[in-house]
Amino acid sequence: MEDDLKRTIGNRIAQLRGKQSQRSLSLELGQSSNYINQVENAYVMPSLDFLQYLCEHFGISLHEFFQKEEIPLKQLELRKESETLTNEQISSIIQIAKLFNESNK
């Protein structure tokens, strides 16, 4: 069971990382690239603190991290980019998204 959980965690990190290299992610997180590699390949079980920090880095909750569905990388990018926007700017983006959704119906 623990091996399944380690594989699930490793696969999710690889999915969230996308095309970003393990080294680049490790530098952003302050971890060694060897550690990221070991976690992704299910050799080690990361701590809860690491998982929480990782989730904060990607702008998701622990709940979202463990959901079965993949999180689209563009959604993650949008979340990350919107962190510094004003409420007015976010409202504008929401209105644009609603217009796109209506045109897709």
The burial of 95, by beta-carbon neighbours within 10 Å (0-12 exposed, 13-18 middle, 19 or more buried), is given as exposed
Model pLDDT for residues 76-104, shown as the tens digit of each residue: 778 778 878 888 998 888 888 888 888 88
- Predicted TM-score (pTM) of the model is 0.71
pLDDT digits (tens, 9 = 90+) for 11-58: 999 999 988 999 999 999 999 999 999 999 999 999 999 999 999 998
Specify whether domain 2-103 bears CATH 3.40.50.1110.
no
The Cα 97–Cα 82 span in angstroms is 14
CA torsion angle 103 59 5 36 (round to 10):
120
**C-alpha to C-alpha distance for 45 and 5, rounded to whole angstroms:** 8
Q: Is the pLDDT of residue 71 over 80?
A: no
Q: Which of 20, 82, 89 has the alpha carbon at shortest distance from 54? A: 20
Query: Where exactly are the structural domains of the chain?
Result: 2-103
Place of tokens 């965690």: 9
pLDDT tens-digit map of 74-83: 777 787 788 7
